Structure 1
Amino acid sequence: MQITFKTILILLLMACSIDCHSQTNQTKIKNNIFDASSISQNSIEILNGFSATPNKGVLNTYTVILPEYESVVYISTIGRDKILDGMNRVFSWAAKDLKTIVSQDFKPDSKAGGDPSRNGLLALFKLKNNEYLLLQGVASPKAMSYLVIADDGKLSIDLATFGVDTVSGDIPLITYARGANVYEVFQQAWKNAINTKALKGRTAMRHEKEYPEIFKYLGWCSWEQYRTKVTSDLMVDAMQKIEKSPLPIRWVLIDNGHEHTYKSAEGMNSSRLLSFKANPETFPQGFKPMMEAKTSKIKWTGIWHTMNAHWQGFHPEHEVRELDPYMVKISKNGGLDVLMPKGDSVSSKMFYNTLIGSAKKEGFDFVKIDNQNRQLAFYQGMSNPVEIVSQHAQSLECAALELSDGLMNCFCLDLLSLMNTKYSATSRVSVDYLLNNEAKAKSHLLQSYQNTLWMGQAVWPDHDMFHSSDKFCGRMMAVSKAMSGAPIYLSDAPVDFQDKLVLPLCYSDGELLRPLAPAIPLPESVMLSALTSPQAYRVVAPLQHGAAAFVAYNLMHPSPTGNVTSAFTTKDYEAAGEFIQPKAESWKAPKEGLVYYDWYEQKGGKLENEYKFDLIGFSDKLIQLSPIKKGWSVIGNSNKYLSANAIKSIEYSNKKLKIVMIESGELVVYNPSPISCSVAQKIDYLGNGLWKLYLPEAQKNFEVLITVKN
């Protein structure tokens, strides 16, 4: 067959008609009504040739017709009518219907600090045929859409800019997906959005981004322990104590408190930046002492800033005068004058190049950026705030890529931030962690996993810092961070480090054991109101060599008086690979079966249908399931939470097992027959076919040959 240019063109057009069907499907909008009840495939609604001028910031409203459904999860912040900020408090509100979510007595999270917002980012419906339907807003460079629940439970879509300028063009309105696989529904809705012409190249899938080398190692952050009381002496002292600690902490982040700001008794609400230098009173020598405290162990340092430069932007009497042509004065309610970057691309790029460049000049290797989604409210009522903030987000991404070795996104649990993560590979997915607060810890854990379902499409989910010395959940937080695959950083005072809880996270050089994909809730947990239900909330993360790590939590608050009984099964194993990118075939249990390993109990055996257990009070259970091949199963280094990931390679044969460990230590394997190993200092039988081998410690690329005894 002769391949002509015309043939190639036809094939390309056919491919586009498949891959880009979302932009060519017949519209589901008529008379400002979006008919979601007729959705049968994954797509996106684009308003072709749209033109409108905002009315109180909103371009148009579309009524939604929904199919019959049996339950819903609504993703929104707190504060009944809030949409413009507060977006590090994004909750997964699970209920039987939308009306319940906006009812006065619906308060499933006592620590949320307010009522669920009626303005949502996305809504997941469990349909009566056991399929899922996801409706998700879209933040394009010109406008953003979000869902709105009326008091009677009816749903609509608002398309807004929060500004005054007319918007014209082909504008994405809503992305949606329907199917039996809840994970595919989230992925397809995300792909629909980011592959539109409007969003192309503005963000990417998680696997398409380069994960920063720094965040592959254990770190430490000043915030939760010291908050704004940081000083040069305190930071140097902390770094010196970290250097002497047995914990291999490789980077240190100085958080809020170091800034050179205008002094005000009103604190954060009027805090404005004077310069990018350190506070001259608490850092009299600037950041030089911190840089001199770096060692071969503490290789990297990071610094905190906000998207506005500081909480309320620049003070009019600031010292960075070279930025004056690129900033605009904004008068906030109450007469507070602040300076913010102008909305044009030149001003935006200059501002963020200067901000990130200042960190580089001071010697910092990466930057944490806070307060991202609150920026929209500053520009409310101006030309087009969505367009301005989108430009700023793109400028930040480019500046961080060019001028630093990593960007840590914080306070960014919104679609406008997420849909502008062009290069950055990590973002916060939860409210701040808070020391020794049981209720807040439960809420934090739930948010972290639930928000990963949508945010984890584009980024690795940062679960925030934690205290290993937390009396309620030190170990629980360590395990959840391990399951995230994202940056892991302590915030204890160095004298309070709990080594035995931290060392299972990493190797002797501080490199973290990371899953193949971030942990996500198992399907039945996705729709669970975990803080009000006496049921286990269960999550899974895929590991190397076909193994999977599972955690079950008792998150009900207050904790139920009785035990919560749960289990992990072969069917659960088959969900383990669903969040791997790029998407691969669903996992299947091997013919020879699976071995379970209870990490806390240090016991296990061949899985016979299920492994059942009880959760008492605020607690969790960490289980690994590993495949059996030729009679063997490799649990891995039992000193590490993600045991299987400590194994570099495995060669199976009927009588022999050859393993290369990334770093040697204790090794647990399964075989029904007795085994021998010449390099093992001792072998213990744990029962049920499990053997623990005691090997030399901390040797890289350590080879182990295990044989079945005759």
Structure 2
Amino acid sequence: MMTTARLIMPLLMALTAWTAVAQPQTSLLRPVPGKTALPLSVPPYQSFCWFAADRGRWPGDGNRVLPWFGKTDPGKLVNSKPNPTVAKPGVHAMFALFHLKNGRYMAVLPVAEPDSLAWLNIDGKGNFMVEYGTLGKNLAKPQSVLAVIAVDDNIYSTCSAVWEKALSLPFVKGRTLPREKKAYPEPFKYLGWCSWEQYKKNITSALLEKTARHLEESPVPVRWLLVDDGFQVQEGLKLISFQPRQDKFPEGWKPLMKHKSAKLKWMGLWHCYYGLWKGIHPEHRLGPQVARGLVSTPKGNILPGDGPGGAGAFYKPFLQSVRDAGFDFVKIDVQAEYLKQADGLDNPVHHNTKCSEALEKACRQTGLELINCMAQGTVNIQNTRHSAVTRCSIDYKMGDEAMGKSHLLQSYANTLWLGQTAWPDHDMFHSTDPSSARLMAISKAVSGGPVYLSDPADKLNPEHIMPLVWSDGLLLRPLAPAVPLPDSVFLDALNENRLYRVIAPLPGQSAAVVLYNLKHPSPETAVRGKISLNDYRYAAALLKGKQALNYYGTPVEGIAAYSAEGGRALTASRPELDVEITGFQDRLFILAPIVGGWAVIGRGDKFLSPCAVEGSPEYAETSLRFRIRESGPVVIWHGKGPVKAGGTPVKNLGNGFYELQFPVSSRPLDVTVTAE
């Protein structure tokens, strides 16, 4: 009898090799007295990735931080328009990566102190700069550190090292925690639904009640409902009251809350970070105590901030009103726009910091879970002490191929830095989207973040939903979020004829690799790429500790690379598999370690099939045993010929893959496979 102990020796060898490798080099960029801008010294490089909002957004980056790809001339990049869905690249950035000519990688992360902020800039002469300030009338006291720099041979170690160092700085430590040290919210482990993409602001109590009834009746196991924008008492996009408007919600939230059930267990509410899109109305009905948490700008904007009562005077009753209405979580939007709205204040960074701190504290006090949205700003990201989920992309748009491609590229690339402290939220999608429903479903699956729909609740398409979930709506989730493979980190995928590739770690020392054709417009001919045995070790990109050790070496016998469109074993003698994709499509591969001539892929009808396997398989020379969470078609690989599973029909899928055609049910399944 063989067990997963067959993998222990390679892992010990990999660990020994890993500990012998030099660790990332980190350094701190400190200010020079009397200067608020310093040149960023970059060694000779072959390419770079500039993470910035499109032109004209800064410092209100919102959800607009995108990867912009350059070679040798930063000035040329910012004067181009490489992404057809947005404006030209912005010159102000919050993160940057460089592929150096010596083959190493360099990451630069500007940091925020409680009262000042540092950022990257490309000046008028095309030079990389680091700048800092309060963005207000008060001059900034010299920051002790402006940016953290890390250099390493591994792109993922470089990204992790720069964040680890930043999170250890005295003025950051404790204000933000690594992703793996945060509790992932219980509702977001399950499938959800949101009103925004389908209905925008055209929501009413009757419509939401109808939606809740359809979700309850649907065979699709949606477990939570998120009410988005469109319910507020407001004038000119300025908030007047915490309560919903009477013309649309005559009985408030009570009718909707009656639809909570064992199935539709949680409900969430969208709110704007600073009241509403243009702040608080001067004739608001929030009360004098709440008003003590407000500040006014010279332009007349009224915002939460460090007023006479502190920012908590606003956020505690704000969030308490949500909790008292019966909601379980909030999605707080336009957080990074605060700095732009606060233009003219004495110190916008100080007020923004206090608001972020108060928001996190109020959510903890009221028991509300939190999704951060349009929060891609240094002040916001570096003040997420407890919250574990942050939007990583511009809004998804149904049927828009160009935006769909940009959405995927942005979401995965941003996870390199955002995924260090939060699970990435790839936004909602339509399961009935004719152009990209399956692509969007798979990308949400490998993100590890929330997965939520926006179709009319009676129009949900199970074909693109059920591969994501179990019968109770529980998501099959990776161990860490998917990120670009090294050859895709600096790939301008919208403009180059190369496949964009991402990877995520899965249970059972498995991994998922997704390849995309993101070239736009899509070329008529196929775009080519490959997967390889070498890809497997990068699954540990965002893993820490013992989990990461599973991927530091490739399994001795190789891996079984399974795709619904066909796959094969990748071994030392045949380490690569060519892939071609035509049009806006993807290709999902599951990489499973081969042990004793066997590999377990899992439930073949689920996107992340290895998540179905409970415990460790038992491998023997002529048999294989394992347990599946819920019965259904199971795929395995056997390199020594046909197999059987008692009286269960077995379908030969080719290249050593076999589908054991067990019936679908919610019951667990013990599987025994023998060689014929």
Please, what TM-score do these two structures have when normalized by structure 1? Answer: 0.88
Tell me by how many angstroms 1:349 deviates: 1.4
Counterpart in 2 of 1:291?
257
What CA deviation, in whole Å up to 9, does each residue of 1:496-539 have, x standing for no partner? 31111100000000000000110000001000111110110000
* Alignment match, 2:83: 109
Distance 1:122 1:513, change over 3 A: same
Unpaired stretches in structure 1, ≥5 consecutive residues: 1-38, 53-58, 263-269
How many Å separate the matches in 1 of 2:110 and 2:400?
33
Verify the 8 A CA contact 1:517 1:581 in the aligned structure 2. no
Is the counterpart of residue 658 in structure 1 residue 625 in structure 2?
A: yes
Matched, 1:706 2:673: yes
**Which residue identity does 1:413 align to in structure 2?**
Q
The aligned residue for residue 579 of structure 1 is 542
1:674 aligns with 2:642: yes
1:253 and 2:244 correspond: no
SS in 2 for 1:42: strand
Q: 2:169 aligns with which of 196, 217, 241?
A: 196
Name the counterpart of 2:331.
Answer: 368
User: How far apart are the structure 2 equivalents of 1:409 and 1:403?
Assistant: 16
Equivalent of 1:565 in 525, 528, 546: 528
Q: Count the aligned residue pairs.
A: 648
1:380 partnered with 2:343: yes
Q: Alpha carbons of 1:51 and 1:406: their partners in 2 closer, same or farther (altered >3 Å)? A: farther
Structure 1 segments (4+ residues) deviating >6 Å: none
TM superposition shift of 1:686: 1.6
Report the Cα distance in structure 2 between the residues aligned to 1:213 and 1:660, rounded to whole angstroms. Answer: 25
Q: Contact 1:548–1:624 (CA<8 Å) still a contact in 2?
A: yes
1:616-649 Cα offsets, whole Å, 9 max, x none, are 0111111111111011100100010001111112
Name the aligned partner's letter for residue 218 of structure 1.
L
Which of 204, 210, 214 matches 2:187?
A: 214
- 1:46 positional shift: 4.1
The alignment status of 1:590 with 2:555, answered yes or no, reads: yes
How big is the shift at 1:417?
A: 1.0
Check conservation: 1:314, 1:338, Cα contact below 8 A. Answer: yes
Alpha-carbon contact 2:136-2:346 (below 8 Å) kept: yes
What whole-Å deviation, never above 9, does each CA across 1:31-73 have from its counterpart, x for those lacking one?
xxxxxxxx992122345xx887xxxxxx711122321111111
Of residues 410, 413, 419, the one that matches 2:373 is 410
How many Å separate the matches in 2 of 1:376 and 1:464? 23
Structure 2 counterpart of 1:24? none
Shift of 1:477: 0.1
**Mapping 1:689-704, distance limit 5 Å:** 689-704=656-671
Which of the numbers 112, 137, 146 marks the counterpart of 1:164?
Answer: 137
- Larger mean CA deviation between 503-512 and 680-689 belongs to 680-689
Corresponding residue number in structure 2 for 1:56: none
Partner SS, residue 191 of structure 1: helix
Determine the C-alpha separation between the residues in 2 that align with 1:87 and 1:240: 34
Q: Secondary structure at the match of 1:566?
A: strand
SS at match of 2:81: coil
| Percent identity of paired positions between Structure 1 and Structure 2 | 37
SS in 2 for 1:242: helix
1:567 partner SS: strand
Maintained 8 Å contact 1:435/1:466 = yes
Q: Could you say if the C-alpha distance between residues 489 and 203 of structure 1 is closer, same or farther in structure 2, counting changes exceeding 3 Å?
A: same
**Separation in 2 of the partners of 1:374 and 1:365?**
25
Residue 345 to residue 155, structure 1, CA distance change in 2 (3 Å) = farther
1:325, 1:239 → 2: CA distance?
35
Which position in structure 1 is the counterpart of 2:602?
636
Please say if residues 298 and 345 of structure 2, whose CA atoms lie closer than 8 Å, have aligned partners that are also in contact.
no
- Report deviation, 1:398: 1.4
Counterpart residue identity of residue 555, structure 2: P
The aligned amino acid for 1:314 is I
Q: Residues 93 and 116 of structure 1 are in contact (CA less than 8 Å); yes or no, is this contact kept in structure 2?
A: yes
Tell me, in whole angstroms, the C-alpha distance in 2 between the residues paired with 1:299 and 1:395.
27
Amino acid at match of 1:533: E
What secondary structure, in the 3-state scheme, does the structure 2 residue paired with 1:355 have? helix
Check conservation: 1:353, 1:399, Cα contact below 8 A: yes
CA distance in 2, matches of 1:449, 1:414: 17
Q: What are the superposed Cα offsets for residues 270-317 of structure 1, whole Å, 9 maximum, x if unpaired?
A: 301111111110111111111011221100000000100211122111
1:464 aligns to what?
427
Query: Does the C-alpha gap of structure 1 residues 51 and 290 become closer, same or farther in structure 2, counting only changes over 3 Å?
Result: farther
8 Å Cα contact 1:72-1:98 kept in structure 2: no
Looking at both structures, which has the greater relative contact order when contacts are Cα pairs under 8 Å and sequence separation is at least 6?
2
Shift of 1:377: 1.9
C-alpha change, 1:101 and 1:648, in structure 2 (3 Å) is farther
Deviation at 1:547, TM superposition (A): 1.0
Counterpart selection for 1:244 from 205, 213, 217: 217
Compared CA separation, residues 382 and 606, structure 1 to 2 (3 A): closer
Query: Aligned pair in 2 of structure 1 residues 441, 233: CA closer, same or farther (>3 Å)?
Result: same
Contiguous gaps of at least 5 residues in structure 2:
1-22
Q: Equivalent residue of 2:136, what SS? A: coil
d(CA) in 2 for partners of 1:660, 1:405: 36
Which piece of structure 1 moves more, 545-554 or 571-580? 571-580
Q: 1:653 to 1:362 in 2, by over 3 A?
A: same
Give the AA of the match of 1:84.
Answer: P
SS at the partner of 1:192? helix
Alpha-carbon separation, structure 1, partners of 2:658 and 2:40? 58
Q: Distance in 1 between matches of 2:467 and 2:88?
A: 39
Q: Residue 589 of structure 1 aligns to which amino acid in structure 2?
A: T
Aligned residue number for residue 60 of structure 1: 36
Q: 2: distance between equivalents of 1:463 and 1:602?
A: 28
Conserved 8 A contact 1:259-1:278: yes
Q: CA deviation at 1:676?
A: 2.6
**Distance in structure 2 (CA, Å) of the matches to 1:158 and 1:603:** 50
Q: Is 1:85–1:377's contact at 8 Å kept on the other side of the alignment? A: yes
Is 1:479 matched with 2:463?
A: no
Residues 222-621 of structure 1 mapped to structure 2, 5 A cutoff: 222-262=195-235, 270-331=236-297, 333=299, 337-343=300-306, 346-582=309-545, 584-585=548-549, 586-599=551-564, 601=565, 604-605=568-569, 608-621=574-587
Mark the CA change 1:382 to 1:332 in structure 2 (over 3 Å): closer, same or farther. closer
Q: Is the 8 A contact 2:138 2:346 kept in 1?
A: yes
> CA shift at 1:160, angstroms?
1.2
The one-letter code of the counterpart of 1:534 is: N
CA distance in 2, matches of 1:399, 1:101: 45
Deviations along 1:554-601, one digit per CA (max 9) or x if unpaired, are 1111111221011100011121112113473343221111111113x2
* 3-state SS of 1:663 partner: coil
| Distance (Å, rounded) in 2 between the aligned partners of 1:500 and 1:432 | 23
**1:405 positional shift:** 3.8
Matched with 1:141 is: 114
Q: CA offset at residue 153 of structure 1?
A: 1.4
Is the CA contact 2:74–2:122 (under 8 Å) kept in the aligned structure 1?
yes
DSSP 3-state at the match of 1:236: helix
- AA aligned to 1:303 is L
Aligned equivalent of 2:65, options 90, 100, 103: 90
- Residues in 2 aligned to 1:429 and 1:332: alpha-carbon distance in whole angstroms: 32
d(CA) in 1 for partners of 2:28, 2:179: 20
Q: CA deviation at 1:186?
A: 0.6
In structure 2, the residue corresponding to 1:624 is in which secondary structure?
strand
Distance in 2, matches of 1:602 and 1:69, equals: 39
Does the aligned pair in 1 maintain the 2:536–2:554 contact within 8 Å?
yes
| Counterpart contact for 2:78–2:91, Cα < 8 Å | no
CA contact (8 A) 1:659 1:705 kept: yes
- 3-state SS of the aligned residue for 2:540? coil
In 2, the alpha carbon distance for the partners of 1:100 and 1:156 equals 12
Question: What do residues 94-130 of structure 1 show as CA deviations (whole Å, max 9, x unaligned)?
Answer: 01134345553x1110101x11111111221111111
Deviations along 1:224-261, one digit per CA (max 9) or x if unpaired, are 00000000010011111111111100000000001111
**8 A Cα contact 1:326 1:342, kept in partner:** no
Provide the rounded CA distance (Å) in 2 between the counterparts of 1:67 and 1:233. Answer: 61
The question of 1:688 aligning with 2:651 is answered no
Partner of 1:587, secondary structure, is: coil
Q: Which residue of 2 aligns with 1:8?
A: none
Distance 1:569 1:254 in 2: 43
